[in-house]
Amino acid sequence: MQNLPRVSIITPTYNQAEYLAETIDSVLTQDYPNIEYIVIDDGSTDTTPDILRRYKNSIRSERHDNIGQARTLNKGWEISNGSILGYLSSDDILYPGAIRKLVEILENDNFIVCAYPDADVIDHKSRIVKKNVCRPFDLAELVVRQECHIGPGALFRRAAFNTAGGWKAELKLAPDREFWIRLATYGRFEFCRDVLAGYRMHPDSISYKDVSEQVGREYLWVLDQYFEAASIPSEIAARKSEAYGYAQLVLARNCFRAGQFKRGKELYKEACRLHSSLSDVSVKARIFRNVVSKPARIALSTFRSFIKG
């Protein structure tokens, strides 16, 4: 253990007592011997404190008034002492061997700043509902198409984190992807094709919740920050209009999910103006699939709206 780098995993949690023990156990049963595990309760009002007391001899835990996920994560990373950092949401899980395999990737190449595994999507009962949901890192896809394929279990170097800075506390939907964009400035991201984590989707997941247009506009803010940077890859700079088109598409999708069909159509038209290929019927079909998880009433209304438009 003396020669193995310490890995600090942070789990921020807020009112997810139903899944928390499984998350904690998935870290404690890892076969990597040098793990610092910190769970921070962000002011939960459920039975989270009771669960954490059960693990008082196995993990380090703290509790504070609710300050949000980003600030909680940043606090955890600041008080940790590992040279390799990571986080695990309190409803996700790691599979056996995850940390060991990802550390090996980082240790074998100093130019890699982040290593992350493939993952399954699991439901509220931990049943696998979709396999192999992650993909190799592509900065252009992340910036331009708003597609983040980094799932649970990602590990990154503290040195790069210290230079890039932590999560932006003002972001509610995209603090992770904004962070990955900044971190990618300092080295390569390596995708491990082994399935080593489970990403849980359930009714309380952020991915399932209705999002206001005001909150959703942070995707535009992230793009503003990126394209105002002094130096960005020329191939991404050339796709600036496309990037803003896809960001508008995300806003449109969120409106459709919330049943705001008129506003959704307006935003979709703006997306098509910025990038004409977004008017393709396949894009409309993709948006429709995105809202299928909502009640049939909303899904059918979305479909009818597209047929008319």
In a domain, 304, yes or no: yes
Specify whether 179 is located in the same domain as 32: yes
In a domain, 66, yes or no: yes
In a domain, 23, yes or no: yes
State residue 298's pLDDT score. 40
Specify whether 225 is located in the same domain as 129: no
Specify whether 54 is located in the same domain as 111: yes
Specify whether 244 is located in the same domain as 97: no
In a domain, 2, yes or no: no
Q: How far is CA 179 from CA 55, 65, 218, in A?
A: 30, 24, 13
CA 227-231-232 angle, 5° bins: 60
In a domain, 109, yes or no: yes
Specify whether 26 is located in the same domain as 87: yes
Which residue ranges of the chain lie beneath pLDDT 50?
294-302, 305
Residue range(s) defining the domain that contains residue 299: 210-308
In a domain, 51, yes or no: yes
Specify whether 233 is located in the same domain as 284: yes
In a domain, 1, yes or no: no
Residue 119, number of CB atoms within 10 A of its CB? 27
Specify whether 35 is located in the same domain as 156: yes
Burial 160-187 (b: 16+ CB within 10 A, else e): bbeebebbbeebbbbbbbbbbbbbbebb
Q: Which CATH number covers residue 200?
A: 3.90.550.10
Specify whether 113 is located in the same domain as 226: no
Specify whether 192 is located in the same domain as 165: yes
- Among 184, 206, 228, the domain boundary falls at 206
In a domain, 221, yes or no: yes
Angle 281-290/296-308 helices, nearest 10 degrees? Answer: 160
Specify whether 59 is located in the same domain as 93: yes
Specify whether 157 is located in the same domain as 260: no
Tally of structural domains, the chain: 2
- Among 190, 206, 222, the domain boundary falls at 206
pLDDT tens digits, 179-212 = 999 999 999 999 999 999 999 987 666 555 556 6
- Among 164, 190, 206, the domain boundary falls at 206
Specify whether 201 is located in the same domain as 216: no
pLDDT tens digits, 11-63 = 999 999 999 999 999 999 999 999 999 999 999 999 999 999 999 999 999 99
Residue 253, number of CB atoms within 10 A of its CB? 23
